């Protein structure tokens, strides 16, 4: 799940922060579920009138693993 982004534009550069929650369910071992809460940190630059991604990072905040049953 991706939430709304916060974007700050300064001339031909911009920075975005986007909160994300990702849940993964595994068959092995023991059907564990992993949930990750993180922030995407993305820098943009405008080149020739088009926005390009300069840097894109996933910054983990916390993770939780739950065993099935």
Please report the domains of the chain, with CATH numbers, ordered by start residue. Answer: 2-66 (3.10.450.50)
Q: Both tokens of residue 33?
A: 């579920």
- Cα torsion at 19, 23, 24, 27 (round to 10°)? 170
pLDDT in tens, the chain (69 residues): 888 899 999 999 999 999 999 998 887 767 888 899 999 999 999 999 999 999 999 999 999 988 876
- Written in H, E and C, the secondary structure of the chain is CEEEEEEEEECCEEEEEEEEEEEEECCCCCCCEEEEEEEEEEEEEEECCEEEEEEEEEEEEEEEEECCC
Write down the pTM of the prediction. Answer: 0.78
């Amino acid at each position: 799940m991706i939430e709304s982004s916060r974007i700050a534009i300064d001339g031909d550069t911009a920075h975005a922060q986007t909160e994300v929650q990702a849940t993964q369910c595994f068959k092995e071992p023991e059907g564990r579920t992993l949930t990750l809460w993180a922030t995407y940190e993305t820098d943009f630059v405008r080149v020739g009138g088009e926005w390009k991604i300069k840097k894109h990072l996933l910054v983990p905040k916390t993770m939780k693993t739950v065993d099935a049953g």
